[in-house]
Structure 1
Amino acid sequence: MAAAVADSLRQRILNGELPPGVQLRQDALAEQFGISRIPVREALLQLEANNLVKIMPHRGAVVTGVSLEELEDIFQLRGQLEPQLLVVSAMHLTPADIQALRAVASAYSDTLAGGEVLRWGELNRRFHLDLLRHAQRPRSLSILSGLLQDCDRPTRLQLSTVGDMARAEQEHGRILDLCEARRIDEAAAALRAHVEHVGAALVAIYRRVLADA
């Protein structure tokens, strides 16, 4: 029973229905699920182990996430770092690399269409890192990997609208087309625009959530 509650809450957190900062009260959840508080408490402990909630004294469980300021910082750094790395990496992308990237982009599109929330972040992160893997700058790539991990869950929030899903698919495809055509400066500009759009959309969502809190 605890596992079922944890799975339900996990999905709601990952799809943005329960955004960062929301308090999860054991008594309210027990009533909602029609169970006692014991399995609810166990479910919240499971979510805390997955770093999806933090159990705080006198407040109970609170959904975790990055702050608005951290989010703005993450996307500012990504907007600077990723285009620079692409300029170096794109020159070394082979036809096999492009084909593999298109397969990742296709799988990403399938998960968006199928609502497979848990895989969105994984495939998005893989697409961006594989695109830049030939940059031969391990420290920069390590930093970028951490930034992508930090904005994994917030990005799912941005992808919760059909328009942003379609735009993400189109922008990934456009970046690959430009790389394949060796129009590298245009590809870097397209990547920067993609990152900036996602960041702006997320900041707007966060500000709405804060205004409604």
Structure 2
Amino acid sequence: MTELDNQQRPSATETVRKLLRADILAGTFAPGEQLRQEELADKFGTSRIPVREALRHLEAEGLVTLLNNRGAKVVSFTSAEVIELMEIRIALECRALRLAIPNMIQSDFDEAKRILVEYDKKSDPAQWAEMNWKFHETLYIPCNLPRLLSLIEGNYGQVSLFVRAQVSMASGKKTPQEEHVDILKACRAGNVEKAVDLLEAHISNTKKALMVQRRRSR
């Protein structure tokens, strides 16, 4: 194996981080649930060291809270905190999209379209959050600002912990998907202002659905 191959292979820590993050966002581990290093090491077939480092990365993303000598636990938020996080999401993602559109090329549009087609085929609401993230991430990557993208990923993960359970079933898939298509069309056309306006409305609609769900649960 060449040195380049070694550099391109994901580390054990990164592999565990991605797998554990996906499990958390899919609801395999519920908000407030304790994550034990030994059990996670067995689950992912690795030692405790990559698990420990992965948990530290996920704590930096705001998805888990480390516990002294007891692993970690999945974070939990009140609906009021999530509404605030969604305002942050609007600010971060709209800025990223504004900077990304001038850098987009045909392969970006093709990948975003491919994700939407795959998204349409998913009938399990547990998979919608993952597909939704893949679509949005594809639009933002061309902004070429790793720190901004990292902030967006962390914020999205935090919101998804709550939104997945509280909003996805109520909102369904049809309307969000129609909004995705419109956003992508505006990006293809290079219409920055329209795309950003559509994105803000798209996220705001989720926030409104969350607020409705919050009122109903009182």
Q: TM-score range by the shorter chain?
A: 0.5 to 0.7
User: Could you list the per-position Cα deviations for residues 40-61 of structure 1 after superposition, in whole angstroms to 9, with x for gaps in the alignment?
Assistant: xxxxxx9xxxxx9xxxxxxxxx
Count of aligned positions? 160
Q: Which amino acid aligns with 1:156?
A: R
- Matching residue of 1:79: 90
Aligned partner (choices 102, 105, 126) of residue 94 of structure 1: 105
Say whether the 8 Å CA contact 1:87–1:188 is kept in structure 2: yes
Q: Which amino acid aligns with 1:179?
A: C
Distance 1:205 1:20 in 2: 18
- Matching residue of 2:205: 197
Q: Are 2:149 and 1:138 aligned?
A: no
Of the two, which has the highest radius of gyration?
1
- Matching residue of 1:160: 169
What's the % identity of the aligned pairs?
A: 24
Q: Shift in Å at residue 116 of structure 1? A: 4.9
Distance change (3 Å), C-alpha of 1:64 and 1:137:
closer
User: Could you list the per-position Cα deviations for residues 150-206 of structure 1 after superposition, in whole angstroms to 9, with x for gaps in the alignment?
Assistant: 122333232203x54211000001000110011111001000100111111112213
- Matching residue of 1:66: 77
Q: Shift in Å at residue 64 of structure 1? A: 6.6
User: Could you list the per-position Cα deviations for residues 92-116 of structure 1 after superposition, in whole angstroms to 9, with x for gaps in the alignment?
Assistant: 11111101001111222221xx225
- Matching residue of 1:179: 187
Q: Which amino acid aligns with 1:159?
A: S
Distance 1:152 1:182 in 2: 29
TM-align CA RMSD: 3.2
- Matching residue of 2:159: 151
Say whether the 8 Å CA contact 1:79–1:192 is kept in structure 2: yes
- Matching residue of 1:123: 131
Distance 2:160 2:118 in 1: 17
Q: Which amino acid aligns with 2:161?
A: R
Distance 2:115 2:95 in 1: 22
Which runs of 5 or more residues in structure 2 are unaligned?
Answer: 1-22, 33-42, 44-62, 64-73
Give TM-score scaled by structure 1 length. Answer: 0.65
Within a 5 Å distance, the mapping from 1:2-17 to structure 2 comes to 14=27
Say whether the 8 Å CA contact 1:121–1:153 is kept in structure 2: no
Distance 1:66 1:108 in 2: 27
Runs ≥4 residues deviating over 6 A:
none
Q: Which amino acid aligns with 1:85?
A: A
